[in-house]
DNA sequence: TATGAATGAGTCTTCATTCAT
DNA sequence: AATGAATGAAGACTCATTCAT
């Protein structure tokens, strides 16, 4: 009878999600009341429960689908060409992609870190996400034979280190400073150079 | 500042803080009820409010003093000898120290990131802490002329990247895997090598 | 009063009643939600309100018609032949009939007692039903000159006692133990003998 | 410091129970809101939960203790002298005692029948109570060799019949008509005679 | 007539905080 | 200083009922 975008329900569901993401980000998981979400979304309290079983269900459903998207986006990237025309190419591409994805999903990722993880009810989402990401990164390392002499544990640590690095910078620039996509190139370069460019003048260049 | 041990009620104050740190870590900020804290501390509910204005006040006071300690510990380290007997020495020492401090304060740091930060009421503590840490790290960089050609912004990004790197690894090993101090050496080495050792076998120059 | 089967929507009305009786019995009045009733009946929520003003209206209408039927069934019995071919005949017949009717209406009677009566909104139905039944029984007593020297109040008490006796046994056997029609003969005999057969062996005169 | 009746807490607990019994009786279990109970008891909503885990907990605790008392009271009676100076003596005593107990506990028993049993959450209390009572009565029958030739099932039926008889009469006189203890003698006599005195004039006496 | 999405008043329960003792 | 009973505001969730289509 009508086009899809006007389908009853789907529209409301979207509006709830949008409102929730906004409020979760601003006020945290516990700070956001269902009553605020529905007010923001312009509907009655009861309507919320037509689309979500509970407040936690809303969070889980938003977070999970979003994080899956992120993991997929990065996974696709890892499939890219394997020839290293130049040292650091994979690293560059991966970090760049990660930052871009983070940017586009900055709300949920920030939420996950700062809000989701805070609530024991929801911790499993965070744990699962990081596990998946770390595994993905390790796989990429192995595929391209990066860190050739590392043990599994060292590789795992490295993976988590990368995630932490990217996430912290992304959070502070995208969320707290409100930077946009235009900063990504510079961020990527810096993140690649983090441990490389650290030597004082005289011993500079490539380490 | 005062003879703490002689103050009659300070014992209680300490007991509250201890109980709170234990419970905050286990159950999160919102999951921890004042009633649980006082039960754990072995005193009456009303007693809590003789020592703290509110639950938030307790958290702030615990977090702030704790984070100041951390910052101080790291600052002292940065003051250490300036001669680089070997490339990466400052980096090594700093990261090692940071991990040690993190380990000893893993409760509060973890809380701050994963619990505290989730609550807008408390976000300023987190923001302030990271700002302080980043500034400290940047100062160290400048002092030792690391990253010589970097702009201020690049230096700041690098500082945040280091924090994120260390924190993420520390969280996953100390908190989630329950690792102890014995892991710190290995963690430090890996964290230093994050961007350096990544090259595939044939081109492995920098290790 | 009307040609029910030809009324287009009456089918739906019947389906609602059937579904409601099933669910009321299983889950009680408050435990049964309108949403469950319509799901069970296979129609939309709104349809319910085309046939019944409210949930209470549904219950009243179901209960009243059902109880009237019961009262009528028993009344007809009371009109039966007046010759007592044998002592206890009327009593036997009445109780037997009552149990049979109870069995066929066990859902609604049980509901009325144990579910309906719990809700003040519905108490009047119960009160009215018991009043009617008691009056009927008293009339029968008088007709057959049973309890010849009793005052009106004693007769009334006796009537209620009979009702309670029959109902309690019927409830426990038909509803809780799931007994069927085959138990009715035995139940009737026992109910007749309740106060008669109680004497110990040696003094057993009246059996 | 003070006499028991003024002990903090116990007083409040009592007040809650009193208020609850009054309201449960008037408005049913579902009709009675916790907010009404505390208003009636003159305290804040939160106070309720210092004394009872939930509304259901309140009902269970009131009902269980009350029903235990009843069962005990009747059990004690069953222990009485075993010599039957006269036919029907035990029966008379038992019914008389049952009615007295019922009268003193008329609120809770009525509640159990009309309210408690209506809520599936609470049905087990009712079932357990009736089971206990029936067992008790059967034991008494056996002890005094009443109904000598009955099978177990017939004895069980008889027990339930007695309960139903007593309860129904008690409910209608004590609760609905507001009769008092003065009616108990008459009620007892009638209840004993229910199946005995039914014969028409000419074939009367004790059969 | 039929639908089922939408409503919103109403319920139980929690918990940080207060206060009389 | 210490207690712990009392408070009451606030929140998540339910469900009978309505109404636009």
List phi, psi (to 5°) of B105. Answer: -115, 25
Mean pLDDT (chain A) is: 77
D133 three-class SS: helix
Tell me which residue of C79, C128, C70, C65 sits closest to C99, measured CA to CA.
C70
pLDDT value, residue D84: 41
For residue C5, the model assigns a pLDDT of 43
Q: Could you identify the residue whose CA is nearest to the C1' atom of nucleotide E7?
A: A44
Q: Calculate the dihedral angle through the C-alpha atoms of A37, A41, A44, A48, rounding to the nearest 10 degrees.
A: -60
Token code pair at residue D87 = 């036919």
Q: What phi and psi values does residue C84 have, to the nearest 5 degrees?
A: -90, 95
| Residues C167 and C102 sit within 8 Å (Cβ to Cβ) | yes
Nearest-CA distance from B206 to chain A in Å?
7
- Whether the predicted pLDDT of A82 surpasses 70: no
Average pLDDT over residues B18-31: 86
- Positive/negative CA dihedral, D149, D153, D158, D159: positive
Chains B and C touch (3+ CB pairs under 8 A): no
Q: Which of A90, A147, A188, A189 to mutate to test the interface with B (most CBs of B within 10 A)?
A: A147
Name the residue among A67, A66, A37, A64 with its Cα closest to residue A49: A37
pLDDT of residue C124: 75
pLDDT of C206 > 80? The answer is: no
* Closest nucleotide over all strands to B55 (CA to C1'): E16
pLDDT at B3 over 50: no
Looking at residue C198, its pLDDT comes to 58
CB D90 within 8 A of CB D143: no
pLDDT score recorded for residue C36 = 97
In angstroms, rounded to a whole number, what is the distance separating the alpha carbons of residues A192 and D81?
98
Mutate to test the interface with D, among C123, C159, C161 (most CBs of D within 10 A): C161
Surface-to-core class of residue D4, CB atoms within 10 Å of its CB (0-12 exposed, 13-18 middle, 19+ buried) = exposed
- Give chain D's end-to-end CA distance (angstroms, integer): 67
C10 CB contacts (<8 Å, ≥6 apart)? C4
For position C116, what pLDDT does the model report?
42
How many whole angstroms separate alpha carbon A62 and alpha carbon A21? 8
Under 8 Å CB-to-CB from B190, ≥6 apart: which residues? Answer: A150, A154, A157, A158, A161, B169
Residue nearest to nucleotide E2 (CA to C1'): C47
Is D64 or D46 the better-scoring residue by pLDDT? D46
Which residues does nucleic strand E approach, with CB less than 7 A? A 8-9, 11-12, 43-47, 49-50; B 33-35, 45-46, 48-49, 54-56; C 8-9, 12, 43-47, 49-50; D 1, 32-35, 45-46, 48-49, 54-56
* Number of residues that this document lists for chain D: 207
Element containing residue A100 per DSSP (H, E): helix A89-104
The single-letter DSSP state of residue B204 is -
Residues B161 and A169: beta-carbon distance below 8 Å: yes
Chain D from 135 to 194: CB within 8 A of any C CB: 141, 144-150, 153-154, 157-158, 160-169, 172-173, 176, 186-187, 190-194
- Taking the C-alpha atoms of residue B201 and residue B196, their distance in angstroms, rounded to an integer, is 13
For the ranges A114-123, A131-140, C93-102, D191-200, the one whose mean pLDDT is highest:
A131-140
Q: What is the pTM of this model?
A: 0.79
Neighbours of D93 (CB within 10 A): 15
Average pLDDT in the B48-68 region?
A: 88
> Number of residue pairs across A and B with CB atoms under 8 Å?
179
Question: Is residue B128 predicted with pLDDT exceeding 90?
Answer: no
The answer to whether A and C touch (≥3 CB pairs < 8 Å) is: no
8 Å CB contact of A169 and B157 = yes
Lowest average pLDDT, out of A64-73, A129-138, B113-122, C25-34, goes to: B113-122
Per-residue confidence (pLDDT) for residue D159, from 0 to 100:
93
To 5 degrees, how large is the angle CA D145–CA D146–CA D149?
85
Cβ neighbours, 10 Å, residue B52? 20
Could you tell me the distance in Å between the CA of residue A54 and the C1' of nucleotide F21?
Answer: 29
Supply D81's token pair: 């002298």
Q: C24: pLDDT confidence band, cut at 50, 70 and 90? A: confident
Lowest mean pLDDT across A88-97, B151-160, C88-97: A88-97
First-residue to last-residue Cα distance in chain A: 65
Structure-block tokens of residue C146? 């049973």
C10-C14-C20 Cα angle (round to 5): 145
Confidence of residue C40 (pLDDT cuts 50, 70, 90): very high
Q: Which residue has the higher pLDDT, D139 or B88?
A: D139
Q: Report phi then psi at A21, rounded to 5.
A: -60, -40
pLDDT digits (tens, 9 = 90+) for C104-143: 777 666 555 554 445 666 667 778 888 888 998 888 888 8
Please report the pLDDT score of residue A106 as a whole number: 65
Residue bearing the bigger pLDDT, B156 or A195? B156
- Contact between residue B141 and residue B147 where contact means Cβ atoms under 8 Å apart: yes
Give residue A111's pLDDT. 52
Distance from D12 to chain C by nearest Cα, in Å? 27
- Where is average pLDDT lowest: A69-83, B7-21, B26-40? A69-83
The per-residue pLDDT for range D142-155, each reduced to its tens digit, is 887 888 889 999 99
Tell me the three-class secondary structure of D67-117, residue by residue: HHHHHHHHHHHHCCCCCCCCCCHHHHHHHHHHHHHHHHCHHHHHHHHHCHH
Is residue D21 within 8 A of residue D107, CB to CB? The reply is: yes
User: What pLDDT does residue A166 have?
Assistant: 86
Task: Report whether D114 contacts C29 (CB < 8 A).
Answer: no
DSSP for residue D183: G
What the block records as the tokens of B87 is: 């490339």
**What residues contact residue B166 under an 8 Å CB cut-off, 6+ apart?**
A161, A164, B95, B98, B99, B102, B191
pLDDT band at C19 (very low <50, low <70, confident <90, very high): very high
Could you tell me the pLDDT band of residue D87, with boundaries at 50, 70 and 90?
Answer: very low
Q: Which residue has the higher pLDDT, C76 or D126?
A: D126
Tally of residues, chain C: 207
Q: Indicate if the pLDDT at residue A60 is higher than 70.
A: yes
Question: What mean pLDDT comes out for the span A32-38?
Answer: 96
């Amino acid at each position: 009878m009508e086009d899809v975008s006007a389908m009853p329900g789907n529209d409301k569901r979207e509006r709830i999600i949008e409102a929730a993401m906004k409020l979760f980000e601003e006020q945290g998981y516990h700070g956001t009341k269902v009553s605020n979400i529905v007010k923001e979304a312009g509907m009655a309290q009861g309507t919320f429960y037509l689309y979500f079983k509970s407040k936690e269900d809303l969070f889980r459903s938003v977070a999970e689908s979003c994080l899956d998207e992120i993991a997929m986006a990065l996974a696709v990237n890892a499939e890219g060409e394997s020839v290293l025309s130049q040292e650091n190419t994979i690293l560059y591409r991966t970090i760049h992609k990660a930052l871009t994805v983070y940017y586009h999903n900055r709300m949920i990722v920030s939420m996950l870190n700062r809000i989701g993880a805070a609530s024991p009810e929801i911790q499993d989402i965070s744990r699962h996400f990081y596990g998946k990401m770390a595994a993905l990164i390790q796989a990429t390392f192995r595929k391209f034979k990066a860190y050739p002499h590392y043990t599994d544990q060292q590789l795992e640590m490295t993976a988590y280190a990368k995630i932490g690095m990217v996430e912290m910078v992304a959070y502070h620039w995208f969320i707290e400073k409100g930077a946009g996509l235009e900063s990504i190139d510079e961020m990527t370069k810096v993140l690649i150079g983090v441990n490389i460019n650290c030597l004082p003048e005289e011993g500079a260049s490539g380490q």
